[in-house]
Amino acid sequence: MIDKNQVRQVFDQYVSAYHVDDPKIRLKIDHTYRVAELCQRIATPAGADDLDLAWLCGMLHDIGRFEQVKRYNTFVDAQSVDHAQFGADLLFQEGLIDRFSLSLPSEDLRVLEQAIRCHSAYRLPEGLSDRERIYCSILRDADKVDIFRVNCDTPPEQIYNVTTEALKTSAVSEAVKECFYNRTAVLRSLKVTAIDYLVAHLCLTFELVYPVSREIAREQGYVDRLLAFSSDNPDTQAWFAYMRSHIW
């Protein structure tokens, strides 16, 4: 049994020690609550046996973000720490999990830890149990689905740290197009131009594991809004038209 109100309360109390009025912190808090709801929604069609455990994975998945930005003043993992591993370390090695007073079987705690650790990895590690794999996949899907919303609600210049001019005029790299053709995520090292970042985010739709996650992403409409991007570069404009007719 997971006391969801208790979890919400402890979470709110934990984040209140950070700058909750800072829009970037607020964004992570809202993202957390949305991902938790999405996890719960995806759980049943994904074949999970415990909706509350799926919800909990969502509630705690980005707990490392707050300490990351406090210590390193950035959300960029490459310039600081892997926020997923960092969050799992805070919870399970430094005892943060105890604050939530959960009385979960050790097997559930392992699932929770694994899901948090792997949520932003490019690929899941080998050797996960079937149950771990399911909860990991639910969380990864839920996180991606909400990333589409975040990317619509935040100016792309801010997310990708590029100028409007670069975004409007740049061309899509061949290697990034190749990922779209292969219907796969784009490795960080392949992103070169400003617009590559947006295309890479769109490629996340290919990584959604469960059909229900694709349905939710489609129904929310954020992917279509990102696809409506209008470029001043004719090649990029044509590429977006191609993506619009092939993404789903």
Closer CB to Fe ion, residue 20 or residue 121? 121
Closer CB to Fe ion, residue 62 or residue 196? 62
Tell me the number of residues near Fe ion by CB under 5 A: 2
CB of 22 to Fe ion, least distance (A): 17
Closer CB to Fe ion, residue 120 or residue 151? 120
Position closest to Fe ion via CB: 62
Residue from 58, 62, 133, 204 in contact with Fe ion (CB under 5 A):
62
Could you tell me which stretch among 98-106, 117-125, 127-135, 223-231 binds Fe ion (CB under 5 A)? Answer: 117-125
CB of 171 to Fe ion, least distance (A): 30
Alpha helical stretches, state H, 61-118: 64-72, 83-92, 106-118
Distance CA 226, CA 139 (A): 22
CB of 60 to Fe ion, least distance (A): 11
Contact 56, 6 (CB under 8 A): no
Both tokens assigned to 179: 């990922």
Could you tell me which stretch among 28-36, 114-122, 226-234, 238-246 binds Fe ion (CB under 5 A)? Answer: 114-122
x/- site string to Fe ion, residues 19 to 58, per CB under 5 A? ----------------------------------------
Distance CA 60, CA 33 (A): 10
Could you tell me which stretch among 62-70, 73-81, 98-106, 124-132 binds Fe ion (CB under 5 A)? Answer: 62-70
CB of 47 to Fe ion, least distance (A): 23
Distance CA 86, CA 240 (A): 36
CB of 202 to Fe ion, least distance (A): 19
Q: Is 146 in the site for Fe ion (CB under 5 A)?
A: no
Cα–Cα distance list, 226 to 36, 39, 186, 231 (Å): 23, 23, 17, 12
Closer CB to Fe ion, residue 119 or residue 133? 119
Taken in order 21, 27, 28, 29, the sign of the CA dihedral is positive
Cα–Cα distance list, 41 to 113, 114, 139 (Å): 20, 20, 11
Distance CA 180, CA 184 (A): 6
Residue type, 194: A
CB of 15 to Fe ion, least distance (A): 14
Provide, for the chain, the percentages of residues in helix, strand and coil under a 3-state DSSP scheme, each rounded to the nearest 5: 70, 0, 30
Residues that bind Fe ion (CB under 5 A): 62, 120
